[in-house]
Amino acid sequence: MKLLFFTPTIKRSAIGRMAALIVRELIAQGHAVTVVRTESISLQDQETHDFGVSLVPWNELHDRTQEIQTADQFIYQVGDNYSYHEGCLHWMPKLPGIVCLHDFFLGSLFWAWSESRRDEADSILRYYYGDAAAESYFNAANPAEFIADTYEISPMTEWISSMALGVITHSEWGCRRVLSACAGPVCVVPLAYNRFTALAPAQTEGLELDQSLNLLTIGHVNANKRVESVIRAISSNPDLKRHITYTLVGFIEQEVELALSSLARRLGVKLVISGQVDDTELAQAISNSDVVSCLRWPTLEAASASAIEAMLYGKAVICTDAGFYAELPDDCIFKILPQNEIDDLSLCLTKLLHDRDLIMSYGENAQRWASKTFVASDYARSVEQMVARVLAASPVLEALGYFSDIGNTWSGADTYLLAEDDRRALGIFT
């Protein structure tokens, strides 16, 4: 099977890291894969993940006519970051294929795409969400307000799904919108992932091991990761303030860093902000942690790479009881209700601080389950199966499209033109 595989490739992209695993597995299973890198042109000079094959920039794919014409299918990795997925949006309307959907909220992707296509964007918004949603969509004062205003009403999941011949996604919670917009097959497959090489934890200084707790959050630090809530939860209990060190590892904007540092100092919380680090430093930070906070609100992603990574390391993980995280086994993850976030988190951290065995048992359960669930070879086989399903469905969908186009040319009232008996007989095609 010949595949054109569209994905971000740069090291900063967690989707690119996952995609590299899948590509190598597909090649190992005997398939020919051409990787098309989809990040914006301004990012194409950055270091990439190792895909095991040469990479073709999306803006140079026009010169690969033979590869396009002989491909059995086009595979697109799509998430909510326009600078990583610009090439997907350029080619998906021209070369429809299977979308591997990493986020159920795609509003940031849509916003950036729409900047030079506002009339088209307005039509799309009105079609899926109505006039009121379209008229208010671009009125938010900042990104946080934009997400709060749109993630439930107009997440743009349907926009991407409608361009797909089939969709692979990584949890069930957002599938209703996908199914409403994608005419082809849809399936849920656990995200493929592998952890970095585990390193020996550093020795805890100043406190005995059973009297301290190293708490970690990884990834781009923003309001969605609930860092402020974690700081406030720690500050609510003198024991937690004395014995917890809270570390942030990942990109953080200067104003966010200043605000969180100021809050932690005022509340007496030990906060360490490491910023963006390389793979080795990230592996060390996870190894050194006792508990990893993967709180998210609102929950927007189809799966969480940071939660999966922490589980693969055998760490106790605290998550919001919503979305992808709600679908994780209860004996692997500590779940926090978003409606009672700070109080629930304070109680959870207090329990963990005084029960090292509980940390160990949840970490072992998580590692055991994650190691057999988030497997690249399984994901690659699911891609192969989805290609077969899409190819089988294509003639039916083309026929339905043909008859729909004919029907759209007919005049008349918005009522069925066929008798009830005729419509019943034609039901075999639906």
* Segment 124-163, tens digit of pLDDT: 999 999 999 999 999 999 988 999 999 999 999 999 999 9
DSSP state of 116: T
* Segment 250-300, tens digit of pLDDT: 999 999 999 999 999 999 999 999 998 988 899 999 999 999 999 999 999
DSSP lists the bridge partners of residue 239 as none
Which pLDDT band, with edges at 50, 70 and 90, does 206 fall under?
Answer: very low
Identify whether 96 is preceded by a cis peptide bond (ω within 30 of 0). Answer: no
Geometric angle at alpha carbon 352, from 351 and 358, rounded to 5°: 105
By CB neighbour count within 10 A (0-12 exposed, 13-18 middle, 19+ buried), where does 176 fall?
exposed
CA distance 287 to 204: 12
Geometric angle at alpha carbon 154, from 92 and 80, rounded to 5°: 45
Provide the pLDDT for residue 412.
53
* Segment 170-203, tens digit of pLDDT: 999 999 999 999 999 999 999 999 876 545 554 4
The DSSP H or E segment spanning 180 is helix 175-181
Dihedral angle computed from the Cα positions of residues 147, 152, 154 and 158, in that order, rounded to the nearest 10 degrees: 120
CA distance 288 to 233: 21
Q: Which of 66, 68, 15, 65 is nearest to 37 (CA)?
A: 15
Q: Which domains does the chain have, with CATH numbers?
A: 2-106+155-188 (3.40.50.11930), 209-373 (3.40.50.2000)
- The predicted model gives 209-230 an average pLDDT of 90
Cα 314 → chain centroid? 21
Indicate the pairing of strand 333-336 with strand 270-275.
Answer: unpaired
* Segment 367-407, tens digit of pLDDT: 999 999 999 999 999 999 999 999 998 876 776 666 666 76
Q: Say whether pLDDT at 210 is over 80.
A: no
Q: Say whether pLDDT at 207 is over 50.
A: no
Provide the pLDDT for residue 393.
84
Structure tokens at 216: 């970690």
* Segment 322-355, tens digit of pLDDT: 999 999 999 999 999 999 999 999 999 999 999 9
Provide the pLDDT for residue 398.
72
Provide the pLDDT for residue 427.
64
- Residue the block writes with tokens 């006519």: 65
pTM, two decimals, is 0.89
